[in-house]
Chain A
Amino acid sequence: MAQIDLEEIAHAYMADPREVSDYALKRIHNVWQDGGAYALLGPSGCGKTTLLNVISGLLTPSRGRILFDGRDVTRLPPEKRNIAQVFQFPVLYDTMSVFDNLAFPLRNRGFNEKDVKKRVHEVADILDLAPFLGKRAAGLAADAKQKISLGRGLVRRDVAAILFDEPLTVIDPNLKWQLRCKLKEIHEQLKLTFIYVTHDQVEALTFADKVIVMYEGEIVQIGTPQELFENPVHTFVGYFIGSPGMNFVPFALENGIARVGDAEIFLGERLAGVAGTATGELKLGIRPLYLEVHGKKVDQGVEARVKSVEDQGSFKILTAIMGGHPVRARLAEDEPVPQETAWLRFPTDWIRLFSDDRLL
């Protein structure tokens, strides 16, 4: 178990990086607490797998240092770092039994056979693999195989962190949920540092205590799922998290009112004050969940033309055009849906203002 310090990490795959865009990781400077469950979330190519490989030691970063509990491990190879990794596809030693697979990391480190046996049985019990120990690993289902990969990490008592690189990609959708619960349970039981890479926000939000959102080689926000949902610090986070993502409309500030085309949104004194200090391009953001929809004119309501309504089962998504921009609202299943014209109300508590894509 360990606290992980990332000091000024940057990495470029090319030998001679010149411009900022040459870097797959631009600047990562962070401390990850011992025993935390972290999820690295971001779209493909955002640098999350690169960061994972820097932590596991499969890559040496171009710049910066990594400390595990204060010990500099930047130049150490993976086997000296006490980390374990579960890959996207199950990686097993096909010719070995499940027992031998789990025992492999211990035997390589010269443990005596008695300790190996005891530890393998403990871990097999935790992972519900005990009935399969004598079987050949190659014949098992994908979820059992991924558990074995995880088990090879868990058998080592000294393991500092377990890294997961999109581990549920090959798992049946109905088993994904089970396996995710199992991971969460193991995390609570063993209090290991878990780092989980995914592009699936549902996985990230249900698995992690802290979600690290990455975008174009940078960490844009670290926070609990709730923080990311309510207070995204960057428009990317607002857009990426939540389904559908946050609404963003560019606006101009006029006498405490946000003007969007011909529509006017009431901001209130506090928000207007904040917006007044900004110098960049202004955007107003609001979660579809918090946007109020009315069938007739209401106080501070903005008139909008209804474009479409999608039924998502337990809720509906209404898309309306307001001041030339589409905005979406989430309606409960039993809420009335306006036909052609809707009046949208923006509760000032839930309005977030952004200048040049950064939260004000």
Chain B
Amino acid sequence: MKKRTLGLIVYFILLMLPIYWMLNMSLRTNADILSVFSLYPRHFTFENYMKIFTDASWYSGYINSIIYVSLNTVISLATALPAAYAFSRYRFIGDGQMFFWLLTNRMAPAAVFLLPFFQLYSTVGLIDTHIAVALAHCLFNVPLAVWILEGFMSGVPKEIDETAYIDGYSFPRFFTTIFIPLIRSGVGVTAFFCFMFSWVELLFARTLTTTSAKPIAAIMTRTVSASGLDWGLLSAAGILTIVPGALVIWFVRNHMAKGFAMGRV
């Protein structure tokens, strides 16, 4: 038991080192970062954070990202929950092919698909809207959500469904009041993954937006200027990009840890 905890602590220290370094740099000026090696910020400054919070072109990036990521998470979960239930409980024409086809949508190399994507979303008039990015991210998040949820749902004995239907539950009522609570750990994990993958995706988000829905990850690339990178500003922005996702996982952590208790029907 002791050895196990020690191993875990060593791992987490290693895991946190690059993030600590980013935090360290975010509290220093760019000139300071580039001139001396320092394990901690000697000339402590919040300048970088102040700049992000006061400059609308910076903080609107966060707001845009949060809007389309939340939209995407909601759409992904809402459509994937019933579909995952269908895959875990029913046999129907083309079920296996459909299930695997969904996943193939994560496999396309984005670089070449960007232009056709831009053309498609221009045609339907969605360019530079939050919903465009949210929809585009569904391409890889919905299949992922279906796959993860199907795994959790298959772990729930089918007898639970049968009992509920015999007791006179309708499908929507059974699904929302009995079934989803049973797999809440799976829903929590899925929500987090949808949030995460949509949050860090850059190529689609950058291609489909110009100004009014531009994501933070794209704005961060602006720190590259003629004089090189502003490391301090970039690090501060990097630290701030972690915060929303960390909040999400904080809220779903209990669902992840709880698992589901079999037999408590």
Task: Report A281 CB to chain B, min CB distance, Å.
Answer: 38
Give the interface of A toward B (CB within 8 A): 88-89, 169-170
Decide if B159 is an interface residue (CB 8 Å cutoff).
Answer: yes
Task: Report B160 CB to chain A, min CB distance, Å.
Answer: 10
CA distance A154 to B207 in the complex (A): 66
CA distance A170 to B163 in the complex (A): 11
| B159 cross-chain contacts in A, Cβ below 8 A | 170
Q: Binding site of A, secondary structure by majority: helix, strand, loop or mixed?
A: loop
Contacts across chains A and B counted by CB atoms under 8 Å: 7
By beta carbon, the residue of chain B nearest A166 is B263
CA distance A188 to B263 in the complex (A): 30
CA distance A88 to B159 in the complex (A): 14
CA distance A35 to B55 in the complex (A): 81
Question: Quick one: CB contact mask for B249-265 with A, threshold 8 Å, 1 for yes?
Answer: 00000000000001100
| A170 cross-chain contacts in B, Cβ below 8 A | 157, 159
CA distance A330 to B262 in the complex (A): 40
| A88 cross-chain contacts in B, Cβ below 8 A | 263
CA distance A89 to B261 in the complex (A): 12
Please, could you name 7 A-B residue pairs with CB atoms under 8 Å apart, sorted by A?
A88-B263, A89-B157, A89-B262, A89-B263, A169-B263, A170-B157, A170-B159
By beta carbon, the residue of chain B nearest A142 is B159
CA distance A88 to B263 in the complex (A): 8
Task: Report B211 CB to chain A, min CB distance, Å.
Answer: 55
CA distance A170 to B157 in the complex (A): 10
- From B157, B262, B263, name the one whose CB has the most chain A CB atoms within 10 angstroms: B263
CA distance A170 to B262 in the complex (A): 12
By beta carbon, the residue of chain B nearest A165 is B263
Task: Report B18 CB to chain A, min CB distance, Å.
Answer: 39
Task: Report A246 CB to chain B, min CB distance, Å.
Answer: 31
Task: Report A150 CB to chain B, min CB distance, Å.
Answer: 18
| A169 cross-chain contacts in B, Cβ below 8 A | 263
CA distance A258 to B159 in the complex (A): 52
| B263 cross-chain contacts in A, Cβ below 8 A | 88-89, 169
Which 5 A-B pairs have CB atoms at the shortest separation, nearest pair first?
Answer: A88-B263, A89-B263, A89-B262, A170-B159, A89-B157
| B157 cross-chain contacts in A, Cβ below 8 A | 89, 170
CA distance A88 to B157 in the complex (A): 13
Task: Report B249 CB to chain A, min CB distance, Å.
Answer: 29
CA distance A271 to B262 in the complex (A): 51
Question: Quick one: CB contact mask for B136-167 with A, threshold 8 Å, 1 for yes?
Answer: 00000000000000000000010100000000
CA distance A169 to B263 in the complex (A): 9
List which B214-265 residues lie within 8 A (CB) of chain A. 262-263
Task: Report B155 CB to chain A, min CB distance, Å.
Answer: 11
By beta carbon, the residue of chain A nearest B159 is A170
By beta carbon, the residue of chain B nearest A90 is B157
| A89 cross-chain contacts in B, Cβ below 8 A | 157, 262-263
Task: Report A86 CB to chain B, min CB distance, Å.
Answer: 13
Task: Report B228 CB to chain A, min CB distance, Å.
Answer: 56
